[in-house]
Amino acid sequence: MIKSFQIGAKTYTVELEKNEQRYKDKKDDLLGRAMSPLGKIVVWNEWDGGKMPNDQIEQTIFHEMVHTILNEMNRFNLSEDEEFVQTFSLLLHQAIRTAK
């Protein structure tokens, strides 16, 4: 599993946590958060007491990673476009997973 990655000069750490009610209430499909100013992303590895599958965790890491890239590029409009971020990150994840 990815533990950290670098975007430009900044190193981001990846933290896996159980989901918390306060975040869960905010948005039903929220599986992680990008905290660009703190240089970290947080991804839930447990959801309603069930373990999140590794593939799902990895896809969420890619999703949050795309947010951090777009934030770093100051492309906040794109970063706030969840449909763009989700589709782009799923395809990027597939491309990297199937790369030979």
Interacting residue ranges for Zn ion, rule: CB under 5 A: 82, 85
Q: Least separation, in Å, of the C-beta of 83 and Zn ion?
A: 10
Nearer to Zn ion by Cβ, of 41 and 85: the residue is: 85
Nearer to Zn ion by Cβ, of 20 and 82: the residue is: 82
Residues 9 and 30: their CA atoms lie apart, in Å, by 28
- Residues in contact with 32: Cβ distance below 8 Å, sequence separation at least 6, in sequence order: 41, 42, 43, 44, 60, 61, 63, 64
Q: Least separation, in Å, of the C-beta of 96 and Zn ion?
A: 18
